[in-house]
A and B are shown apart, each in its own frame.
Chain A
């Protein structure tokens, strides 16, 4: 059997392994799955960077953002990764504490974020607001706050994601906490009957929504841009909430253990350059961290603009998260 396994393994490897790349320096970037997929920014970014760097850019998908950090923690200093791309501000404090990341040397003064950015390790490459997305041909009475959502008719249902296993799920948890503080429990208790179900990941929830199972789904304000631009479908909109919307800022950083530190710095510079940033809106469906020279693509102008940007300081995120999660579990388990 052992012989057989080795033989089989060898066969598959020969079939599957790509042609050996010529001896260019290799920069390995760990990121989340949807970034490297053929429908994500990965392939275009790889082409664009390789055109300038005389290097081989190796983008590796490692599950979602949280899985990415776990992976790096498991690999420790022996990791092949030079860059981690795809953590968000809820994870940066925890990531910094691992000591695996190095300071950057990139000039971040020209970022177009709704908030000030001062982090000497992590650099943002895109951002978005969490929001509830609905079908504007079916929902006419649109809730404009969590309290309005609580007061919607009994048969109005939303699907959300579990904060323990999903980034948007965690975003919603912190959104409610930041907007309502002490009242967060009360809000969750009010929302509870409106929640059709909680899914483990974004895909299940979004799939349920597009199949007509729920009236609204937790996603991003930029989700309708996908439907408008890629599918020419104008029926999806995001509901604007008066409390403001919680932000997700996606960041990247250089690993301290990188054996290509200069190339890694070059990539981080490239990441907030016009080329990279112009690819982001219509592939990752988020706002670019720096508005590209030709502006945002047509279709983004139809999106809602929150009146207030909510975000919890990354140093407090961990503590707030644990408290908010306990409240969430208590209220939704009743």
Chain B
């Protein structure tokens, strides 16, 4: 128990508390800033409640469906070995990082009035489909979030020690028995967190919900915030709506953490997963079908992005490549920042959980707040805070990197915290009893079990940062741009073809970044 009672070292304390401070500043801090800056009060109207109800309802539906599809997809991916499995896993990250406008046009290329599906239906003599409306919103959100949900749940499967499956096989436990005794308890630890993340992502959606929702019926809280800030310059209303987003986050966050039932798998020897179950033919067919459908659903819109962008990609002007370089630098820095924060916060939360379990849970919830926060509120709040002291132009890129890092922190934390908790539970005491110093302890007992989630998190954070327009719009000086900003500028200057090329470049670079780090985390993954 020596380690557990040992206080945090000052350096760890500084790291983790500045990470928490940053999160609080970007979330509650920016909202309070707006509130203090407002010169008029504000009361929510009846119409605002309709917006809140719609926002919650579509987010609940989207998150539920995403999870329901992701569970069988993740199971298929974790119990089948096939050529191209890794490619599928990597490409699956793509929808998630698409800039909204690219995603809208990609989804419509498949599901729109003149999309692939309608074209096919018309060829065989049917009417084209009309997806605009509630279904459109859910479809788009499911498209965005299945990949993330699947990856988070696959990670859960990967965490099950292979010994469990071997034991089950030796005991002759059936596939359904394995589901009941091994897989279901695992899902209970992973699914609530994944559900929460997706719910929050759907809450802060705005352009997608509107475009596919078919009109103002599909107004989300985020659009109301946009309207309050841009149309009415009503800072009080914007901050109040942002507080509602946070409250939703806090309520669902507590619920998710309450439902989550941590399991302790008996220590395994970290061999690569091998499965003896699910070999009946109907299991195989089911898995293949699930993967086929999910892949078609996810990759067809991507295919349309490739088709549209392939030709203009080769004629892009030089400034696009400069912007691409800016974006890559910002992405890599923010990814390492994000994961650094996630690791130090994980250490803090785990230590805390022994002494002050409630505080530790509260911190986990705080880390989710950023997902529920409005990028526009963050940007505006930061602008108000920094403007009196420093010209916004001089800090555009560092600010973007910092905000992007914070934005991807919840994902990194979701991957790293459970892995670290497990490693700590399984090897922590052993390491302590061997009298390892802090560095050896981390390097030998903990790190090998963190490599995969850390690699994945850096990759994801980098890719997310690439695709995010972020706060750069408010801070960008005339001659500094990121790739998404250039793409939006091209689109608003009729350069739609060129913009399609930039979109393809953006997606490709994001996937490459993701692949490099994710792969880096998996190299030599066999643990001593």
Contact = CB atoms under 8 A, between A and B. Distances in A.
Interface of A: 1-2, 4-5, 8-9, 12-13, 15-16, 18, 33-34, 36-40, 58-64, 66-67, 69-71, 73-75, 78, 80, 157, 162, 164-165, 192, 195-204, 206-208, 210-214, 223, 226, 230, 285, 328-329, 332-333
A60 B394 CA distance: 13
A46 to B, nearest CB: 9
23 contacts: A5-B337, A5-B402, A16-B326, A16-B479, A39-B493, A62-B474, A63-B473, A63-B474, A64-B492, A70-B233, A75-B387, A157-B113, A165-B226, A198-B210, A200-B226, A201-B207, A203-B491, A203-B492, A207-B105, A208-B104, A208-B108, A329-B216, A332-B215
A33 B489 CA distance: 6
B95 interface: no
A5 to B, nearest CB: 7
Interface in B347-404: 380, 383-384, 387-388, 391, 393-395, 397-398, 401-402
A88 to B, nearest CB: 14
A175 B407 CA distance: 40
Contacts of B387: 74-75, 78
B319 A9 contact: no
A13 B227 contact: no
A208 to B, nearest CB: 6
Contacts of B493: 34, 37, 39-40
Contact of A164 (B18, B227, B384): B227
Given A37-B492, A213-B108, A196 B113 contact: yes
B300 interface: no
Nearest to A79: B387
Contacts of B484: none
A80 B392 CA distance: 10
A332 B213 CA distance: 12
Interface in B108-138: 108-109, 112-114, 132
Contact of A214 (B113, B231, B340, B401): B113
Contacts of A33: 473, 488-489, 492
Which of A78, A211, A212 has the most chain B CB within a 10 Å cutoff? A211
A332 B215 CA distance: 7
Contacts of B215: 192, 195, 197-198, 332-333
A16 B105 contact: no
A326 B401 CA distance: 40
B490 A8 contact: no
B502 to A, nearest CB: 12
A283 B473 CA distance: 22
Given A5-B337, A61-B478, A74-B380, A197 B211 contact: yes
Interface string B21-44: 000000000000000000000000
A20 to B, nearest CB: 13
A211 B329 contact: no
Contact of A204 (B211, B214, B229, B473): B211
Interface string B231-250: 10100000000000000000
A61 B289 CA distance: 49
Given A16-B480, A34-B489, A329-B47, 4 more contacts: A78-B388, A203-B496, A204-B207, A207-B101
Contact of B391 (A40, A80, A164): A80
B404 to A, nearest CB: 13
B210 A200 contact: yes
A164 B219 CA distance: 11
B401 A197 contact: no
A202 B210 contact: no
A208 B105 contact: yes
A73 B233 contact: yes
B333 interface: yes
Interface string B410-442: 000000000000000000000000000000000
Nearest to A198: B215
A165 B231 contact: yes
Contacts of A60: 393, 477-478
A223 B496 CA distance: 13
A13 B223 contact: no
Nearest to B395: A9
Contact of B104 (A80, A204, A329): A204
A285 B493 CA distance: 9
A328 B216 contact: yes
Contacts of B84: none
Nearest to A41: B493
Contacts of A37: 489-490, 492-493
Nearest to B212: A197
Nearest to B227: A164
Contact of A198 (B216, B319, B398): B216
B110 to A, nearest CB: 12
B478 A200 contact: no
B201 interface: no
A73 B217 CA distance: 30
A128 to B, nearest CB: 13
A66 B206 contact: no
B317 A38 contact: yes
Contacts of B216: 162, 198, 328-329, 332-333
Interface string B47-61: 100000000000000
A-B interface, 9 closest residue pairs, ranked by CB to CB distance from nearest: A9-B398, A203-B491, A39-B493, A34-B492, A37-B489, A164-B227, A212-B114, A200-B207, A12-B397
B397 A61 contact: no
B476 interface: yes
B15 interface: yes
Which of B210, B227, B397 has the most chain A CB within a 10 Å cutoff? B210
A73 B387 CA distance: 12
A211 B214 CA distance: 17
A211 B114 contact: yes
A67 B401 CA distance: 22
B458 interface: no
Nearest to A2: B18
Contacts of A195: 214-215
Contacts of A71: 474
A213 B212 CA distance: 12
Contacts of B18: 1-2
B489 A61 contact: yes
Contacts of B206: 200
Contacts of B330: 12
A165 to B, nearest CB: 6
B267 interface: no
A39 B341 CA distance: 40
B214 A197 contact: yes
Contact of A165 (B223, B329, B489): B223
Nearest to B388: A78
Contacts of B319: 38
Contacts of A69: 233
Contacts of A230: 494
B133 to A, nearest CB: 9
A201 B223 CA distance: 12
Which of A78, A213, A214, A332 has the most chain B CB within a 10 Å cutoff? A213
Contacts of B496: 203, 206-207, 210
